[in-house]
Amino acid sequence: MRRFASCCISALSTRSSALLVLLSALLAGGCAGTGGRSGDTDAALPAGADRDELLTSIAACHLRRVLQNEDRGATDAVVIAAIEQYGFEVEEMVERANAITVAAAGDAAARASLRRLAGNACERLAALTGAAPGLVRFDRSGNIGNTWVVVNGEIYEGFADEVIDTLRREKAVGLLISSPGGSLYEARRLGRYLRQNGLRVGVQDVCTSACVDVLAGGIERYVTRGAKLGIHQSKVPKHLSSHEGGQLSVVAAALYLREMGIDDTVALAAASVPNDSMYWISVGEALETGLATKLVDAF
């Protein structure tokens, strides 16, 4: 059975604007500087923010997505939001991105500084603009890419690498998953990749056990009204006692969910349900705990 497929989720497409058209043209062209200057320099900045430093953060977030995906047509939704909200020119951002890339190429200290800056630049812009972060891709024609990879089946050894390879090959912006669970290690490894790279996750059908950890990793997490989300205790490894293993599993689950910004009461609820049973999380609970960020009609 074929486990991986790609599809386009038109209901989730990014809005079209003159800014997006210009940005897509520049990014598809390889981030070549155009010499463009600042636009509305009087645009209100966040309290305490320096315009030059903010421009560098915007450029660093953009570079983070480009380098992560090895795709010069990649950027982040918060880059677009910050440019628009604070009156920067797209050409100005591209020029700054080129400048810090050139500086980093010839100086180890500059590369280390860029890694530190890029590590939280997208999250900082999300906090400043109120926009949701997330990978944005443009195709060679300058159109917004909206490909999602569809995955069905158990989470097995090597699952994370297979899905990651497919996401990169298909130039996807999200993962639509239906799974009964499986390997927690693979699920959390994939979840961390999704979060770090700004990819979204959606569930339309069933997502239980370790699959919930994949959902938790999405930068945005979509569920339908009919989605079935189920949790229970993890299986205790054979080399541990049931008591010791149970404690370790609960702590590991809580720490992972906390890392993903999700209420760790989800982990506590799972710990109360035997491995051969299932607690079904309602859509309301999923939204309340942050396990889901948005309810959609369908994919």
Domain span including residue 219: 146-296
Would you state the pLDDT for residue 10? 43
Task: Answer yes or no: is 218 within a domain.
Answer: yes
Tell whether 55 and 162 lie within a shared domain: no
User: d(Cα 206, Cα 214) in Å, to the nearest integer?
Assistant: 13
Is the whole-model pTM more than 0.75?
Answer: yes
User: Is residue 92 in some structural domain?
Assistant: yes
Helix (H, G, I), strand (E, B) or coil at 262: coil
Q: Are 162 and 291 in a shared domain?
A: yes
Give a yes or no: residue 197 inside a domain. Answer: yes
Please tell me whether residues 113 and 151 are part of one structural domain. no
CA distance 219 to 201: 7
Same domain, 85 and 102: yes
Same domain as 280, residue 170? yes
What length does the chain have? 299
> In total, how many domains does the chain have?
2
CATH of the domain at 263: 3.90.226.10
Each residue of 158-210: pLDDT tens digit?
999 999 999 999 999 999 999 999 999 999 999 999 999 999 999 999 999 99
Does residue 2 belong to any structural domain of this protein? no
- Residue 7 within any structural domain of the chain: no
Does any domain span residue 4? no
Closest CA to 153 of 67, 106, 214, 100: 214
Q: Which of 138, 158, 182 is the last residue of a domain?
A: 138
Same domain (yes/no): 125, 244? no
User: pLDDT tens digits for 44-100?
Assistant: 787 777 899 999 999 999 999 999 998 888 999 999 999 999 999 999 999 999 998
